[in-house]
């Protein structure tokens, strides 16, 4: 995520103490609220630190008591704010599912909060927490802009942002999780295996709440998206189809109106500065062997925006709160993988600890981080890599901005010859990663100009980009609407976050039914559908190795292959028809005599010379 337009927050100059809306999934009574609000019997993560918020300043002086077989209270911590306590508990293997009571005793009086201990989900790694791999095809969507399946939740009384205006690019439009559920047929038929949504956690900010990146309560699912029940229905619906769910994690910051900001347990839960200090958005100080500590501190501890205070992950209480929430989310909602926002600004040792905790509990869990940086080496530093540095990241993969900026974008939106070589060169640096197949490749996203606009609304180049996306090494991710030529320049970002046609009542056009779409839009949609569904059953494209040849003046040839299948891809990024010969790539073509065009299923004999039209990618399955 990149910083969003500040103009909508120009009236927020001080922290305002607001009411905490009790819309969250937390154990609560009129007396106290416990985070997390429940746990599960039989978890490996069985030593918890409960954050407990009471209703008055002297709450921290109360005695805490838990009397439940298998649960032991091992410690109680006071913090500066007298409304809070932190209670350490241990849950042994003997603890059975039930409803323990956490009691708070003061002046001989006891108040109890019920804290459910649930039975665990079944199917860890098989029906949920399955991980996302190169065999998957991720579809990124913004729930508020994809489809409105329940107009009753368009506005929720008591929430600060009551906007609802589809004519504005910055206000809420009413899309929700039921809208996603309603169109899973469309996504599955498109070839999608995995849904990644921008954050679904409560975002009770005054405005610009459509994107979801400023949490105000970790344990509440955004009620205008349908709340926890709708999120669970979506997860269950995806899993029933054999599909997967990625949750968007934001560890680095929260929204200004988060209860931990409005009424913090202690000042050191946030990074505090004598005056407002924003991150420099420079990644180099994090790893620069010659860098200044002051520069690194600004990068990692500076606030993302004035409306997004920076969490102090070096505070052990904060770290525990965030890690427990991540594990809780997987078990509660059946999350399969994580996309981690603004990875480079987090405390990296904390991130290693968080990633490891998830993997220990869910061995097949996968995570990839946003690393919007300036070079391949910079990017690799934040992932599991082969570089000898004092800090070693355990992040499995990154959102591969280098394969975008210095890759497919350069090849198809810039000078063909230079751009295609940049794509080749970027992939030649894959030796820096422990496993580059875990990187997520993409054409565009919610923070960038749409690819169709980047290629000057050239349909042929759009199709070539999609062809590359679905044949490249790594995990392909498509932003909603790319398959129907949605366009927009990210200045401001609202123009790349427009509504998906057909997802809202009264839409004259529908990408779901094809009504009102142009011939070009239908053609690109079908192109995506054909290639993505072919990819599902192609061992070469889902798990094969990559071999690439030096480009020849804008002509780029690469292969994806296994012992049982070979796919040859020829990308002509130039504006002229080019010719190529299979014999020039004998290392991979030797022994094959026939070619099947993957996109039209035509089978033909190999010819000595072959033409490829301008701005085109050919995708051939080689046969003997």
d(CA 276, CA 274) in angstroms, rounded, equals 7
- The dihedral over CA atoms of 128, 132, 133, 135, expressed in degrees to the nearest 10, equals 70
Residues 6+ apart with CB under 8 A from 143: 175, 176, 177, 179, 180, 197, 198, 200, 212, 225
Q: Which of 540, 542, 543, 533 is nearest to 560 (CA)?
A: 540
Question: The dihedral of CA 263, 267, 271, 272: what is its sign?
Answer: positive
SS3 at position 226? coil
What DSSP designation does 4 have? Answer: P
The single residue of 301, 341, 347, 621 carrying the catalytic annotation is: 341
- Coil vs helix vs strand at 468: helix
CA 148 to chain centre: 21
Kindly give, in sequence order, each residue whose CB lies less than 8 Å from that of residue 185, ignoring residues fewer than 6 positions away: none
CA distances in angstroms from 50 to 181, 227, 323, 324, 337, listed in the order given: 33, 23, 12, 9, 25
Q: Hunting for tokens 């190529």 — which residue is that?
A: 580
Beta strands (DSSP E) in 435-489 are 440-442, 475-479
For the chain, count helices (H), then strands (E). 18, 28
Rounded Cα gap, residues 222 and 209, in angstroms? 10
Q: What CA–CA distance (Å, rounded) separates 200 from 213? A: 9
CA 31 to chain centre: 36
Q: Which residue has the tokens 């839960």?
A: 269
- Burial of 118: CB neighbours in 10 Å, binned 0-12, 13-18, 19+: middle
Among residues 301, 336, 370, 493, the one annotated as catalytic is 370
C-beta pairs of 113-116 under 8 Å, 24+ apart in sequence: 113/27, 113/28, 113/29, 113/31, 113/32, 113/33, 113/34, 114/27, 114/29, 115/27, 115/34, 115/37, 115/38, 115/39, 115/50, 116/27, 116/37, 116/38
Active site residue 520: no
Gap between the Cα atoms of 180 and 92, Å rounded? 39
CA distance 355 to 326: 9
Which residue from 528, 618, 535 is spatially nearest to 571, judged by alpha carbons?
A: 618
Is 370 assigned a catalytic role?
yes
Active-site residues: which are they? 341, 370
């Amino acid at each position: 995520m990149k910083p969003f337009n500040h103009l909508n927050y120009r009236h927020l100059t001080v922290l305002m103490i607001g009411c905490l809306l009790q819309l969250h999934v937390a154990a609560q009574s009129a007396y106290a609220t416990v985070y997390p609000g429940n746990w599960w019997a039989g978890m490996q993560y069985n030593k918890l630190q409960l954050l407990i918020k009471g209703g008055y300043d002297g709450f921290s002086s109360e005695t805490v008591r838990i009397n439940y077989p298998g649960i032991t209270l091992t410690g109680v911590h006071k913090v500066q704010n007298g409304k809070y306590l932190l209670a350490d508990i241990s849950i042994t293997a003997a603890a059975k599912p039930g409803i323990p009571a956490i009691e708070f005793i003061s002046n001989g009086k006891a108040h109890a909060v019920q804290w459910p201990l649930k039975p665990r989900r079944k199917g860890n790694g098989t029906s949920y927490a399955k991980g996302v791999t190169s065999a998957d095809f991720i579809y990124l969507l913004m729930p508020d802009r994809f489809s409105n399946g329940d107009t009753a939740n368009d506005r929720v009384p008591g929430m600060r942002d009551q906007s609802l205006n589809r004519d504005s690019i910055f206000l809420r439009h009413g899309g929700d999780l039921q809208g996603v559920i309603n169109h899973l047929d469309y996504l599955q038929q498109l070839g999608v295996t995995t849904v990644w949504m921008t954050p679904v956690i409560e975002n009770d900010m005054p405005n610009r709440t459509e994107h979801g990146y400023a949490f105000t309560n970790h344990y509440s699912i955004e009620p205008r998206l349908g709340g926890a029940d709708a999120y669970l229905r979506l997860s269950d619906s995806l899993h029933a189809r054999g599909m997967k769910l990625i949750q968007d994690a934001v560890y680095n910051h929260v929204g200004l109106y988060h209860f931990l900001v409005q009424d913090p347990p202690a000042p050191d839960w946030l990074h505090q500065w004598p005056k407002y200090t924003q991150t420099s958005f420079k990644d180099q100080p994090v790893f620069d062997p010659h860098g200044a500590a002051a520069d690194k501190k600004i990068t990692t501890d500076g606030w993302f925006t004035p409306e997004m205070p920076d969490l102090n992950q070096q505070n052990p209480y904060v770290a525990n709160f965030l890690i427990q929430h991540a594990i809780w989310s997987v078990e509660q909602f059946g999350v399969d993988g994580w996309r981690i926002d603004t990875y480079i600004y987090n405390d990296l040792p904390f991130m290693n600890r968080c990633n490891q905790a998830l993997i220990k509990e869910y061995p097949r869990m996968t995570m990839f981080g946003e690393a919007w940086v300036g070079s391949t080496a910079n990017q690799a530093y934040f992932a599991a890599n082969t570089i000898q540095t004092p800090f070693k990241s355990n992040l499995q993969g990154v959102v591969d901005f280098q394969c975008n900026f210095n890759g497919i974008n350069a090849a198809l939106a810039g000078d063909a010859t230079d751009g295609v070589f940049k794509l080749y060169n970027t992939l030649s640096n894959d030796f820096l990663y422990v496993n580059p197949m875990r990187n997520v490749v993409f054409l565009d996203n919610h923070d960038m100009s749409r690819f169709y606009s980047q290629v000057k609304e050239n349909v042929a180049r759009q199709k070539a980009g999609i062809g590359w996306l679905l044949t490249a090494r790594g995990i392909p991710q498509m932003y909603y609407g790319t398959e129907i030529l949605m366009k927009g320049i990210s200045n401001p970002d609202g123009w790349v976050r427009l509504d998906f046609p057909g997802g809202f009542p009264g839409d004259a056009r529908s990408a779901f039914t094809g009504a009102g779409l142009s011939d070009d839009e239908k053609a690109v949609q079908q192109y995506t559908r054909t290639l993505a569904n072919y990819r599902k059953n192609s061992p070469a494209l889902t798990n094969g190795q990559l071999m690439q040849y030096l480009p020849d003046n804008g002509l780029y040839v690469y292969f994806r292959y296994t012992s049982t299948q070979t796919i040859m891809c020829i990308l002509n990024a130039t504006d002229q028809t080019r010719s190529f010969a299979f014999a020039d790539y004998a290392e991979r073509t030797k022994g094959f005599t026939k070619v099947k065009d993957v996109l039209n299923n035509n089978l033909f004999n190999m010819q000595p010379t072959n033409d490829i039209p301008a701005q085109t990618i050919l995708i051939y399955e080689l046969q003997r």
